[in-house]
Amino acid sequence: MIRLFNIDLHISVIADVTHVLTDIYGDGIDITNISISGHNWVFGKPTADVKVFNQHTWKNIDEKMIQEFVEHYRDELIHYDGFIVTHTPVMALLYETFNKPIIVVNSCRYEQPYSWKRDIDGWEWLNSKFRNMKNVHFISNNKADQEYLKLGAGIESKHIPSLCLYTGHKYTGALSEKVVQHGTYPTRYTWQWLYNNKAIVHVPYEISTMSIFEQYSANVPLFFPTKRFLREMQTLKSVYGPLHPNLLACADMNWWIERADYYDLPHIIYFDNEEELTEKIKTLDFQQISKNMETHNSLRKERVYQQWREVIEGIEDWADKLKI
C-alpha cells in the first residue's frame, strides 16, 4: 500500500482524485486529506486545524513559513510515501525537503496567491522553485490552465480532465417542469435534487469549475452560452491581470473562451440569446441528450482512469509498493 498526504483549500479537486485512485487501486492506496476549506460542510466534515500554514496564513507563504511547517510536521509527514497537491499548487513547496514524489493537480491559476497580491517577485520565486524541484509530476485538469502553466512557468503538465463521480448520483429529470440556473439553487441543496431537474443553465464566471464536471458526469443536460454570447455578457472572471510578462496573451478574454472546458465537451447545448434558450428548453428531448451523455461518459471514464494509471505506475517507488 502507498500512503499519500494532502492539505487542501478546495474540497472537490482532491475528492475527485481520491475517488479515482481508490476506485482503481482499492486498498492499495490510502490518501489522508486535511482540508482547510470553508466548504467542508458539503461532505459533512469539519474544517481542519492546521498549524503554521492554514486558511488564514497561506497567502503569506515564504521560505520561513515553509521551514516552520516542516519542523512542526516532520515527524508525521516523513512516514508518507508521497504527496498530492491540488488547490493550490504553491503547497507543493511544503513537501520539497521530504524528497518523495509529489503529484500537483493544477486546476486554477497556478501562481495564486502572488497574482492576487500583485507580487511579481513572489511569482518568479514560485516559477523558479517549480522548475528546479525534483520528482514532481504536474497534471492539469483543464486545457486553459495547462497552457497557462506552460506559458507562465515553462512547466509541461499532463491534461487529465476531472470526473467528479464522488457525488454518487445520476440525472433523472423527474422534475420535468424545472430548469435551474447555476448559482440560484436553494440553500444546502442535495446533488440528487439538482440532478432531478430537467436541465441546468450556466452563465459562466470561469473556464473550468468542478460543478460543471459533477453535472456533466451525472449526465445532466447542460446549457451554456455560445462563445459570441459569452463575450457579449462579459461574465467571465478568469483573467486576474496578468502581471507576468510571459502571460500577456492571457489578458485577452478570447484566449480563455477558446480554451474553456464547456466548448470541448460533446452534447452540451448552446444558446446565442435568451430567446433561443427559451425555445430550446421547450423543444429539446432532454432524456435523449442525457442518454447520449451517458454513452460518452463511459468512454471518458475509461480514458481518464487509464491516464491516472500511467501517472501512478510511472512513479517507480509507488509501482513497487503496488506490486505492479
**Residue range of the domain that includes 113:** 2-163+302-321
For residues 14-25, give the mean pLDDT: 97
pLDDT at 154 over 70: yes
Asked if 43 and 97 sit in the same domain, the reply is: yes
Q: How far apart are CA 110 and CA 136, in angstroms?
A: 14
What pLDDT digit, counting tens, does each position of 97-119 carry? 999 999 999 999 999 999 988 99
Asked if 198 and 104 sit in the same domain, the reply is: no
Cell numbers for 9: 483549500
Strands 82-85, 29-35: pairing is: unpaired
Tell which wins on pLDDT, 145 or 323.
Answer: 145
Q: How far apart are CA 163 and CA 268, in angstroms?
A: 16
Give the list of residues 6+ apart from residue 112 with CB closer than 8 angstroms, or none: 88, 90
Asked if 69 and 56 sit in the same domain, the reply is: yes
Helical H segments across the chain, by residue range:
11-25, 63-77, 120-132, 143-153, 191-195, 210-217, 227-233, 253-257, 274-283, 286-313, 316-321
Rounded mean pLDDT of the chain? 93
Q: Which of 237, 264, 269 is nearest to 161 (CA)?
A: 264
Q: Tell me if the bond preceding 221 is cis, omega within 30° of 0.
A: no
Tell which wins on pLDDT, 139 or 40.
Answer: 139
What pLDDT digit, counting tens, does each position of 237-289 carry? 876 566 799 999 998 999 999 999 999 999 999 999 999 999 999 999 999 99
Asked if 58 and 205 sit in the same domain, the reply is: no
The pTM for the full model equals 0.94
Q: Which of 55, 90, 87, 54 is nearest to 72 (CA)?
A: 54
Asked if 289 and 317 sit in the same domain, the reply is: no
Asked if 228 and 250 sit in the same domain, the reply is: yes
Q: What are phi and psi of 251, to 5 degrees?
A: -75, -15
Asked if 152 and 190 sit in the same domain, the reply is: no
Asked if 150 and 262 sit in the same domain, the reply is: no
Q: How many CA atoms lie within 13 A of 269 on its CB side?
A: 25
Buried b or exposed e, range 48-58, using 16+ CB within 10 angstroms: eebebbbeeeb
- The domain spanning residue 30 has which CATH number? 3.40.50.2000
Number of structural domains found in the chain: 2
Asked if 27 and 151 sit in the same domain, the reply is: yes
Asked if 185 and 307 sit in the same domain, the reply is: no
Asked if 159 and 214 sit in the same domain, the reply is: no
Asked if 59 and 206 sit in the same domain, the reply is: no
Q: Which of 158, 91, 103 is nearest to 129 (CA)?
A: 91
pLDDT at 291 over 80: yes
At 225, is the pLDDT very low, low, confident or very high (cuts 50, 70, 90)? very high
Q: How far apart are CA 110 and CA 123, in angstroms?
A: 10
